[in-house]
Chain A
């Protein structure tokens, strides 16, 4: 169950929390299983929820969280008595904001075929979230199946190929909009 969500990514469940000191956290809040922070699934236990209070357990310690204030997407959370300020962006608002600010944090990454071959399988659809290193498609070349992996964290913007299609070397396969911070 732990990894069941990976091939079933839902972009609406990915968020970016930007702290007031510009530190960024990419958080995936899945329907089932554990949350992932910056691409790593964390064994965080959820102990209690009440109104604006959460208690988590992680690394054998308890974390007492309290929502102090909330204004649109800006939230101040008190964790064990210390306040942290975040602005929460959905993946789309984050990219939009990046485009407006012309930020270098948002860039397109293209993945091209490393060798000529045939596309056997594609694991994602356009708009899906991928983490760096996760296989996006399988390319068969010289009787070998090669998994082509994401070279960054981001959203699949364009899938240029279809299953069964033959590709030339260096032919563009996927465009990923990177959200790496």
Chain B
């Protein structure tokens, strides 16, 4: 009998997973949330379960009990959580297991361990991974934090053990403010995560964010699939990623990759996972954390290795042996992913909601599109602002950048503003071109003038004027002083020729 896979997610990742489910000859089931009943991913699924979450205070994707209840009712064999939502929630994974549903991902215990940064770090120490100088575990109070910071030197960063998404995080530049910051960050973490434990570490001024993709099975086999560089971030969230990284030499790749594999093997990891590193300006790197889900930016790794990560997630969950060997993994070419978020990059990346009047993607053969929307889709305030991803490849980094720019020139979205003009500006910036950009680029270098361009400005003046002129000329044609033939502007002349 065909396996039934429920995708407890939405938008582009649901569509991406459905593709793999179909490739493996299984049945793809999704939820229809009342918050977006016309979503694009519903079309691709074999079966749709109405979630009836209209009156619930949370959408179905955040409701473990309801998901599992509906999954059992619909005879689901496996659940793929995608990314975000409950993908790294150990209780949800446990609940699936308790109800006889195969959760696609690592074991609940591993998710729990890796979710606690202090646990992950102590594991990393055991495996000999370099760590940013800092406290090994939670620090007791503000005084202890101050004593520790005095020892390792400022600036330091305070982080919540259970934190994420920038909450419960403080950068402290000088000793006078550390106690105050400790208290507010701890309170914030308590409110957000129900856990006020804090740890402290040295703050790297201009770091790069690197991460290694790994894949393991339930039989102890683990490989790595090279790194991604995700240094381009705004509000601590990635916005453009590339693979491989120009800052990683083949020797470093081998060394860091082996560390990642060693770490995964030591903790008994299986399924897809990501080991994050932070790299200082001098090229030294440190273990940050492990993500136990498929990542938004997984396509760049797929493009340069030819490995289908979602396929393998499902096969591993079913107990298959990972037949890929480390020596099979060869990195070919370059890939860049541009996240198309409905955000106003001219106004502090403020999220946009509304209708997508028109969306048109580039169709070049070196372009891969992952989209959760189409023309006419609605962007609601209930979910993430990411609507699509444009992944572009090239034989080398320079070609890939040129291909990406060309692809973005052929991207059209009417009705909302997106991050595409921002990504175009990044692709043309010297710091990106020479690969020296860091996670601070947006804060330190970016300004909205970079989004503008003289040709576009001139065309904008022309378009605004024509729109105005059409009305103006219509009005003035009624007056005897003007001898206009009504709306006979250049535009309309041109139009007649088509």
Contact = CB atoms under 8 A, between A and B. Distances in A.
B231 interface: no
B459 A44 contact: yes
Contacts of A90: 472
Given A10-B484, A75-B467, A37 B461 contact: yes
Nearest to A67: B467
A77 B490 contact: no
Contacts, number: 140
A78 B420 CA distance: 13
B47 to A, nearest CB: 37
A59 B418 CA distance: 24
Given A64-B412, A82-B451, A29 B489 contact: yes
Contacts of A37: 458, 461-462
Nearest to A46: B494
A27 B461 contact: yes
B421 interface: yes
B140 interface: no
Counting from the closest, the 3 A-B pairs by CB-CB distance are: A46-B494, A65-B463, A84-B460
Interface string B291-305: 000000000000000
A81 B490 contact: no
Interface string B454-498: 011111111111111100110010000011110011110111001
Interface string A22-34: 0101010111111
Given A54-B466, A80-B421, A83-B417, A12 B461 contact: no
B184 to A, nearest CB: 36
B89 interface: no
6 contacts: A12-B476, A46-B494, A67-B463, A79-B463, A80-B409, A81-B421
A84 B456 contact: yes
A96 interface: no
B110 interface: no
A139 interface: no
Interface of A: 10, 12-13, 15, 17, 19, 23, 25, 27, 29-35, 37, 44-46, 48-49, 52-54, 56, 58-59, 61-67, 70, 73, 75, 77-84, 86, 88, 90
A79 B489 CA distance: 21
B459 A78 contact: no
Contacts of A52: 467
Nearest to B463: A65
B420 to A, nearest CB: 5
A31 B490 contact: yes
A77 B469 contact: no
Contacts of A77: 460, 463-464, 467
DSSP majority for the B interface?
helix
A10 B469 CA distance: 13
Contacts of B473: 12-13
Contacts of B491: 29, 46, 49, 54
Interface string B404-434: 0000011011110110110000000000000
A59 B460 contact: no
Contact of A44 (B460, B462, B469): B462
Interface string B432-460: 00000000000000000001110111111
Contacts of B494: 45-46
Contact of A80 (B456, B465, B469, B482): B456
B353 interface: no
B346 interface: yes
Given A75-B467, A75-B468, A82 B456 contact: yes
